[in-house]
Every structure is written in structure tokens, then in C-alpha cells.
Amino acid sequence: MDIHLILQSSFGDVDLVTILLFYIPFLIFLLYGQRIQFQMALMEVGGMLAQLEKMKNIASVETLNALKKWAKEGVDVEKELRILLESFMILPESMDPAGIVRKVEHIVNVRDDKLAADVKRILKDDVDNSLVRNLENMIEASIALEVIYKIIRHYYLLAKKMGNLMLVIQLQMLTPLIFNEAKAYLSAVFAFKLGAPIGDSIGPLVIHKLLTGNECKRQLAKDTDVYETYIEGRKVYLVKASGPGGNVGKPGEAIKKIIEEDGSIKGVIMIDAALKLEGEQSGSVADGIGAAIGGIGVEKFKIEEVVTKYNIPVYAIIIKQSLLEAISVMRKEIANAIEEVHKRIKKIILENTVEEDSIIIVGVGNTIGVP
């Protein structure tokens, strides 16, 4: 029987070419679909990885140029920076949690002191301390980008080597989120280079705007300023990190010393930047209860421990922003929130304290660009 008659009887009027065009791609995807999906996902992740490498290199070059500008003669700045970018910190063992906060604090303090000493060894002796702080922050942002790039590269090469589709698909899903975080750190490098306030500086800036210039200023903890003033007839201790260099200070230690020194503290108000959810407006203000402070947790632990011991309420005011906004140059809508925060502070003071009471107001965050 003629082949055309067989096809015609089996498939009606459909000719052989149409049948082949329909079934051949189906067979290809049936047999090789997983490999095709793997290669496409690998290409997408590889493209993201190339962009992360570019961002990492830009951050390193910017940091290197900033260090070279103020470096001592004869110092191999590129070599010193490479050593710093490869540095790491090992947190203490937490299998037995007793005393873990004190151990973490010790490791973090040693790490911070070492980074500061390493940077100062590179720079000229007459370099301003604020500039040293800003350069330290540039290095930390560059280290973060270095770590992000290396981790993504590790899993990319591992997935490619093993031909593991599930691993590369997980990377494909996570990489865009990680990429946005990397963009934020790259923005931070330029913000610290300029020495301009970042989104996270909103807490210290709120405190700075409350100052009149006549306050008594003390340092009760490392890199932490305490001002004494009066608001609505209440004695107020204003706490912020020392500026204008990039610095977060030790607010927990300062709060502890104030409370132990002044037995009439009736409340602690903490102001900090907070990550917004998608759909929320940048610069929107909310208030609540609890210690509003990020970081590794040491300062938060100190605050919670001392206020619990003395039964002092802790009020929180947060200014919402994205991660990118938090570590890049402060945007207008975030700065505009200061007036609303001041209103919330006065409202909390009037509703929860009486005249002659004492209260602590803490501006949490990096004080870069804020005197």
C-alpha cells in the first residue's frame, strides 16, 4: 500500500511534514527537556554571577582608590586591601548558650578593633578619625560583596560540575533577591565614600535635630554621645553614635549606665530604620513596643536585660525603608519623616510620663554624615 494512503488513513488529511513538525519537538523535549532546562537556568545564573563579579570589582576599585588617596608612602595598598577583603570572623560556639552574648561581644569588639588598627596602619597619621571610620565602612561593604560573589560562584560551579538541576533552579530563584542585596552594598560603598548620611542614619539624625547646641555632652560608652536636655518638662537623655564618621556606637552600654546612674528613668524611646514590606511607603512611620535595634544582638540583649531588671517600659519608633535605601544616600522621603517622628516622641512622653520624670531617647543607626 502506498505510504501516503497509510498516512491519510491514519491521520486524515494531515501530511507527513506536519506530523514530523509536531512530534519531533515533542520527542526532543521528552528526551532532552531536563538538560535544556538545566542549561537555560545555568546561563541565567551565570549572567547574574558575571554582574555580581563586576559589582564586586567596582567596590574593590573604589575602596582601593580611596585608601590610596590617604595612604602612607611605601605602603602596598592593593596587597593590604586584598588581605582585609579575605578576612573573616568566627562566632563562638553556641551549643551551651550560657554566657554566649558576652562571648559574641568580645569577638565582635576584637574584630572591630583589629579592622580599625589595620586601616590606620595604611593611612597617614594626620588623617581625621571620621574619614578612617568611613573607609572602614567602605571596606566592610566591599567584604560583603566579596562574600556574596564567592558563595554564589561556589554553588554555581558545584551545580555545573554535578549537573544538578535542582541546585541550579534554587540558585535561579534566589539570585535575583541576592542581586538586589548586592546592589545595596555597592550603593553603600559610594555613600561612605561621599561621607553623606544614609537611610540608616535617620535615628541619629532625629536626635541631632532635637539638639539646640546648649546641651551637656558626655561619652558614657565607646563612640557613643549622651546629651542632657529637657522636653515637655521632662529630663531627657539623648543618645546617638559619635559622628560624623560612619559609626554605630554602643547604645546598649550607654543606656545601662544612664539607668544605673539616674534612678528616676520612666521610659526608653528607641528610633531606628526598619525594613519595609513590599507595597509599604518609604519613610512611613510606625510606633510600638520593644528594643528597636538591629545588628548581631549584643546591644539589644543589654538593653532588654537592664530595662527588665528595673521594670522600665521600652517604646519603639521605626522609619520604614528598603535595604537599598537603608545603606545608600538618604532619600528625601526618609528625611521628611523626622517631623513626624518628633511628634510621636512628644506624644509618647506626654501620655506615659509626668513632669520631673527622666526619659532616654536613643537614635539607633549609622551616624555617618551626622555630627
pLDDT of residue 39: 85
Place of cell 536585660: 305
Question: Which domains does the chain carry?
Answer: 43-194 (no CATH), 199-363 (3.40.50.1470)
pLDDT of residue 243: 86
For residue 84, the Cα-to-chain-centroid distance in whole angstroms is 19
Mention every residue, 6+ apart, whose C-beta is less than 8 A from residue 200. 273, 326, 327, 365, 366
Describe the crossing of helices 16-70 and 129-162 by its angle, rounded to 10 degrees.
Answer: 150
The reply to whether omega before 92 is within 30° of 0 (cis) is no
Place of cell 513632669: 355
pLDDT of residue 112: 94
pLDDT (tens digit, 9 = 90+) per residue, 57-115? 999 999 999 999 999 999 999 999 999 999 999 999 988 888 899 999 999 999 999 99
pLDDT of residue 369: 93
Mention every residue, 6+ apart, whose C-beta is less than 8 A from residue 199. 273, 321, 325, 326, 327, 328, 330, 331, 334
The Cα 366–Cα 264 span in angstroms is: 29
From the first residue on, what is the mean pLDDT of each consecutive set of 10 residues in the chain (371 residues)? 49 59 66 75 92 96 96 94 95 89 94 95 92 95 96 93 88 90 94 94 96 88 94 95 92 95 94 95 96 93 96 97 94 96 96 94 96 89
pLDDT of residue 14: 54
Query: What secondary structure does DSSP assign to 336-350, as a single string?
Result: TTHHHHHHHHHHHHH
Mention every residue, 6+ apart, whose C-beta is less than 8 A from residue 371. 208, 243, 244
Q: Where are the alpha helices (DSSP H) in the chain?
A: 3-11, 16-70, 77-85, 100-122, 129-162, 165-194, 202-210, 251-261, 298-309, 323-326, 332-335, 338-352
- Enter the pTM of the model: 0.88
pLDDT of residue 214: 81
Amino acid sitting at position 191: A
pLDDT of residue 199: 95
What is the side-by-side order of every strand in the sheet holding 285-289? 216-221, 224-231, 234-241, 358-363, 265-275, 314-321, 285-289
pLDDT (tens digit, 9 = 90+) per residue, 238-261? 999 998 999 999 999 999 999 999
pLDDT of residue 97: 85
pLDDT of residue 216: 85
pLDDT of residue 31: 60
